[in-house]
Structure 1
């Protein structure tokens, strides 16, 4: 039995961010898995995929001549991208990309495997073709540049090989062309050399629910013959290639910035500005907005989502973000964790996982008037309010961090500590007056966390009912019981006589009675079902 959700019952980004944070606020952080050793890690003369500049959720193959999305089973709508370690600025250069396998998606999923391949400059977005100096050929028979899609060539998919060619020998223009299974499709892009300047073009792949295999020239024979005068990028002399900056050698060279602040306070704006002003550090901003951008499938027509679909996408993005934060400590990169992070336990748990990193917290507390204005702007941009219950819980649990053995520095991005502290204290006091007593809140939170855990484990089998919880016997003595809506007591095998169950309102004792009504119309009342909160 599954509760049917009303189409109007959507919650929005703040709700799902809060739910993930509340769910994880007291969980222990397992040690992050060690990053898998890669072949060619120390050989700067070979051209391979760059695991430093790739998406965190792109899983490169062992030899780094291919890869696939890391979270394809759980989050099939998530695009994953990667660039090569080297680029070029002259000559007639090529590489090949093969869609070697479609990955299975859950039955009933509307997501289909897609692949996009082409060229981009360093520092461009991993979403190939969706910003400046980024050029992609999409498997739907489209070309895309700076977010603009046009029909081009043919559609392609599993087992197809796409040849990618860059011709720098024109006087004023760089010409990019493609082929499919050896058949030339002609030029797709012309880039003004004056605009491109000294920037190098790097091979770039972007995939969703598929495995890609690349030939940079390391193979003895190409998949298909290439046009005359073109050479594979691996054959370009080392001195004529442009190497992207090398990653840090140790975690001690990396830093993580943990954003702390209420919804709409300006955390994302601060993170994006800081990232632009410190490009050489290549900060990976882990936030719901970033994940949402990578979950949308863009095309010639603007994607229109109904409220229910958008809500489901936001929920998936919040869950995906939690996974990304969990795996981030294994990568030698710089990170900004763009979440609210108001729980002290959550701050501690996340920072402890980044052992060895330089760990800093950025606290964003604007004036009350500025915050209200920003909340209005957020509402206009996203079309949603932050639920009052969520805001009150966050205010009541807002904890300003202090320097400790797992926190090297606390930086206040707007109001200083002396001004921020009394304002946060005011928010906490106001929220606690409006919230139910703490005992009821704790019970409700425990119930919510149990339901979340139970929901996440659905499909993995059910064990015995939790100790101390009564079973509601619906006219049957069978021990076969299942879990429904987080409650125990409903029989797996329906009784011979059809029965229905109703939960009546709580009595003053805090229990609800379970009444069964047989098909004959008679009714009986079983054991009372103890409830929490």
Structure 2
């Protein structure tokens, strides 16, 4: 436990100690904020996650509604699943939230409508503005509409976006505006995607080669930030605005001409959570991404800092340090609510504290709970840390790395761990290496009493920062 892990390897007099070059609050970088959150939460108890609200249409596989299985975890669908909004708009106003429909199409002239029903209030002092993006995408594309291949969005800033490239298009739109989205598959060589605003034609935004699209169906897709949206797939008696001749709403397309995305698991017993364990730079994110690609049918949700940072990305880049603080705290919230969703998860964080491992996995009661330990050989790890520093322009603070090493605990199979997998070195090679890291770090760190006092002071500062909306967070690691 934590008290045992904090005990010195030798007497206090044998410790050399590490002189701090600057105060902790002046240290920056992803690892710093990730460690602060992990250390802060290592002694806290997780409240039981709220039960997922029952949704209308769960048993009707033919209904065209928003898909809560493939949506962002932070997207809160309405009970009827014909609309929704971001879940954390007050606390994390820079976080986008997206969702696709349960069905896609690959022929005909198909449409749907999306209305921005409300701009949501954000916390005082926030400079974030409500934004909405709507369009079409293929299954397995990212929730960030328009930011990867075969994903096409019309953005409220008067932009169109495809494969991460933004271009001026049409008009701006916002609260109370209705955007019509039209997909014309009847051309011989291309699929045309066009839009309207409040019934007036905006024009064709995208022409997609049928040869490159292949037989992939296109699905309605929405992405919102600080706003609530309502969708009309054709379930409404009357459309918001008349649609062009020849187009039909996707809801009215015969079932046999629609493509249903895979159904979600019916029980948590069909779901699994993989808890990554390893020091910064050990290769956890790489392993998680590779495993996800090799097991696409499981549709893993990777909960890590990089994923959250991507969902907070703006055209006008903000301070990376401020983004890291916000992303890390947001990630902790996502991990907390994840157990209420029937999905497969990978928790891409350091998770070196035994108490933190236990706290997180206990919340996933009913899931298949596995731990994936990544311990590369020392030479490879040093190379990875150098590459990380080059890519991110930051080093892992020495004090943070020593604290992590000193508290590194390899998990064992238990009542909350069904299986332990070693993804790099096997256990017989990883165990002595981790033990050496731990003993070396404890000799270099200050005496345990001073560490405890410093930790208590740090946790007090974190609580104060959280009350001011500046809390630290925990996140994923490469």
Q: TM-score, normalised by structure 2?
A: 0.92
- d(CA) in 2 for partners of 1:209 and 1:297? 14
Aligned residues of 1:360 and 1:408 also touching (Cα < 8 A): yes
- d(CA) in 1 for partners of 2:94 and 2:153? 19
Are residue 446 (structure 1) and residue 463 (structure 2) matched? no
Deviation at 1:457, TM superposition (A): 3.0
Superposed CA offset, 1:420-451 (max 9, x none): 01100110111111100011101111121122
Corresponding residue number in structure 2 for 1:77 = 94
**Counterparts in 2 of 1:490-501, with a 5 A limit?**
none
Please, what is the CA RMSD of the aligned residues?
A: 1.3
Corresponding residue number in structure 1 for 2:159 = 142
Among residues 372, 383, 394, which one is paired with 1:373 in the alignment? 383
Deviation at 1:376, TM superposition (A): 0.3
Corresponding residue number in structure 2 for 1:131 = 148
Corresponding residue number in structure 1 for 2:208 = 191
Corresponding residue number in structure 2 for 1:40 = 57
Aligned residues of 2:27 and 2:397 also touching (Cα < 8 A): no
**More helix as a share of residues:** 2
- d(CA) in 2 for partners of 1:358 and 1:125? 25
**Counterparts in 2 of 1:52-201, with a 5 A limit?**
52-201=69-218
Are residue 385 (structure 1) and residue 385 (structure 2) matched? no
Among residues 398, 402, 408, which one is paired with 2:412 in the alignment? 402
- d(CA) in 2 for partners of 1:206 and 1:457? 29
Aligned residues of 2:143 and 2:223 also touching (Cα < 8 A): yes
- d(CA) in 2 for partners of 1:304 and 1:330? 33
- d(CA) in 2 for partners of 1:439 and 1:9? 23
- d(CA) in 2 for partners of 1:22 and 1:282? 30
Corresponding residue number in structure 2 for 1:417 = 427
Superposed CA offset, 1:78-110 (max 9, x none): 000000000001000000000010011122211
Q: Which moved more, 1:446-455 or 1:85-94?
A: 446-455
Corresponding residue number in structure 2 for 1:477 = none
Give the aligned length: 447
Match of 1:436, SS state, is coil
Aligned residues of 1:115 and 1:207 also touching (Cα < 8 A): yes
Aligned residues of 1:365 and 1:413 also touching (Cα < 8 A): yes
Aligned residues of 1:396 and 1:428 also touching (Cα < 8 A): yes
Deviation at 1:458, TM superposition (A): 4.6
Deviation at 1:453, TM superposition (A): 1.8
Aligned residues of 1:133 and 1:145 also touching (Cα < 8 A): yes
- Largest Rg, 1 or 2: 1
Deviation at 1:142, TM superposition (A): 0.4
Are residue 29 (structure 1) and residue 39 (structure 2) matched? no
Q: Which moved more, 1:70-79 or 1:9-18?
A: 9-18
Q: Note the residue ranges of structure 2 that are not aligned, 5 or more in a row.
A: 1-22, 470-478
Deviation at 1:369, TM superposition (A): 0.5
Are residue 341 (structure 1) and residue 343 (structure 2) matched? no
Aligned residues of 1:133 and 1:146 also touching (Cα < 8 A): yes
- d(CA) in 2 for partners of 1:411 and 1:205? 37
Aligned residues of 1:10 and 1:311 also touching (Cα < 8 A): no
Are residue 236 (structure 1) and residue 253 (structure 2) matched? yes
Relative contact order, higher structure (CA 8 A, sep 6+): 2
Deviation at 1:258, TM superposition (A): 0.2
Q: Compared with structure 1, are the counterparts of its residues 304 and 297 closer, same or farther at alpha carbon in structure 2 (3 Å cutoff)?
A: closer
**Counterparts in 2 of 1:304-383, with a 5 A limit?**
304-305=317-318, 309-383=319-393
- d(CA) in 2 for partners of 1:296 and 1:457? 25
Aligned residues of 1:258 and 1:362 also touching (Cα < 8 A): yes
Match of 1:195, SS state, is helix
Corresponding residue number in structure 2 for 1:518 = none
- d(CA) in 1 for partners of 2:441 and 2:275? 24
